[in-house]
Structure 1
Amino acid sequence: MAGTIILPEDQKIFSMKELKEKGFSQYKVSKLVDEGKLIKLNKSYYENAEYRGEESDFYYTEAYAPKGVICLLSAAVYYHLTTFIPDAVDVAIPRKAKVSTVPDWPQMNVHHYTDDRYELGVTTVREGKNEFQIYDMEKTVVDIVFYREKVGIEETKEILVTYLQRKDRNLNRLLKYAELMKCDKAMRQYLEVLV
């Protein structure tokens, strides 16, 4: 049939805006949902049921927490800094932002960050047509030390030890971030013990 638009198989999550830009009408989107090709996540986002590619819970962040940035233990796992596997995705959002619906799956732990903490060290990861925002490795380590009571002292120590063994670590950036996040004293204490 001429003029049929097909869903790209290499993209997991679509916003309604993206679907409209690709030429899908509201009617066509509803039809794709009825046919089981799209799964409605909420009023603005859909999951591609025919997705072929790497799976990641991080792809759902945009749908449920549009300003969300992968943080804390989830980011530490992404950078291979810990062997601990969290049971939910850690997502940072600005203090005043709201999350309309939190899904049953993947589970999300939403953390409200002050603006300066939220904005520092954000990086975008693109995997094919999928993308998510995550804090860079140094910001992740600083946040872990800052929230060490919440994260766990053993996990914090493991993450720091692993980070210090990395060839791609950037101690200058780590200390600069720690200073900006008012956590340089705790960071230096840890470093003195571990180095």
Structure 2
Amino acid sequence: MDYRKAIIKYASENNGFVESSWCVGANIPTTYLTRMVKAGELYRIDRGVYSVNKTDYDQFYFFQQKNKVAVFSYVNALYLLGETDLIPDYLEVTVYAGYNAAHFPKSTIVHYVSKENLLLGKVTLHTPMGNLVSCYDFERTVCDIVYNRSKVDGELFSKTVQSYAASANRNLTKLFSYAKRMKCLRRVQEVMEALI
């Protein structure tokens, strides 16, 4: 087997990226990655992540490649959805209760929810660099922000709920369905009634 060709083939099918974990799973010695970096065939982007092109660092994409259970939420979700002009200077994700997030970068804000609610409102979107990542939709993000109102910046809370209420794409049926599952229906209804 020509390991170099296998690595390049996989990278071409994976947006130009290859992870050392894939090599291990494919029984390809990871020393080939190091050799290919030295030969200029690959570029080391992050620990265990390589690219066939010299590329800008997409923190959302690379974080999620290593932490597939994490879903971008709160400010990061609003940013990826195009619903805020804030550019996050930290990662903010949600994982299920009991998940060990100790290996996440120290600056990461981690929220915990039940396993049943982790996938509620999860969508796949493009980062500004064009890579696909998972984040919550606008309805789920509104529910999260209302549910945790005391922990959310007041200006962010106001702008988010006002933006949702004014949105032509708002889906109140979906919003209230999510709120019911998250046990914050009354609070969400009160906020929406005041704005609509």
TM-score (norm 1): 0.78
What is aligned with 2:97?
95
What is aligned with 2:120?
120
| Alignment-mate amino acid for residue 110 of structure 1 | V
Describe the SS at the equivalent of 1:8.
Answer: helix
The sequence identity of aligned pairs, in percent, is 23
Q: What pairs up with 1:73-92 in 2 under 5 angstroms?
A: 73-92=75-94
Describe the SS at the equivalent of 2:140.
Answer: helix
Q: After TM superposition, give the deviation of residue 121 of structure 1 in Å.
A: 1.4
Contact 2:43 2:54 in 1 (8 A): no
What is aligned with 1:46?
49
Distance 1:38 1:24 in 2: 18
Distance 1:13 1:4 in 2: 14
Q: After TM superposition, give the deviation of residue 154 of structure 1 in Å.
A: 1.8
1:100-142 CA-partner distances (Å, limit 9, x unpaired): 53347xx422222222231211123367994321112211111
Contact 2:70 2:94 in 1 (8 A): yes
Provide closer, same or farther for how the CA distance between residues 34 and 114 of structure 1 changes in structure 2, counting only shifts above 3 A. farther
Contact 2:3 2:28 in 1 (8 A): no
What is aligned with 1:193?
194
Describe the SS at the equivalent of 2:103.
Answer: coil
Contact 1:9 1:50 in 2 (8 A): no
| Alignment-mate amino acid for residue 50 of structure 1 | N
Distance 2:140 2:14 in 1: 30
1:29 lines up with 2:33 in the alignment:
yes
Number of aligned positions between the proteins: 189
What is aligned with 2:18?
14
1:60-105 CA-partner distances (Å, limit 9, x unpaired): 222442311011111012222223333212111111222353347x
Distance 1:11 1:80 in 2: 23
Provide closer, same or farther for how the CA distance between residues 88 and 177 of structure 1 changes in structure 2, counting only shifts above 3 A. same
Contact 1:91 1:110 in 2 (8 A): yes
Structure 2: any 5+ residue segments left out of the alignment? none
Distance 2:158 2:149 in 1: 9
| Alignment-mate amino acid for residue 44 of structure 2 | I
What is aligned with 1:157?
158
In angstroms, what is the RMSD of aligned CA positions?
Answer: 3.2
| Alignment-mate amino acid for residue 144 of structure 2 | D
Contact 1:41 1:47 in 2 (8 A): yes
Distance 1:18 1:77 in 2: 30
Provide closer, same or farther for how the CA distance between residues 12 and 183 of structure 1 changes in structure 2, counting only shifts above 3 A. farther
Describe the SS at the equivalent of 1:132.
Answer: strand
Describe the SS at the equivalent of 1:67.
Answer: coil
Provide closer, same or farther for how the CA distance between residues 25 and 178 of structure 1 changes in structure 2, counting only shifts above 3 A. same
Contact 2:80 2:125 in 1 (8 A): no
Structure with the greater relative contact order (CA < 8 A, sep ≥ 6): 1 or 2? 1
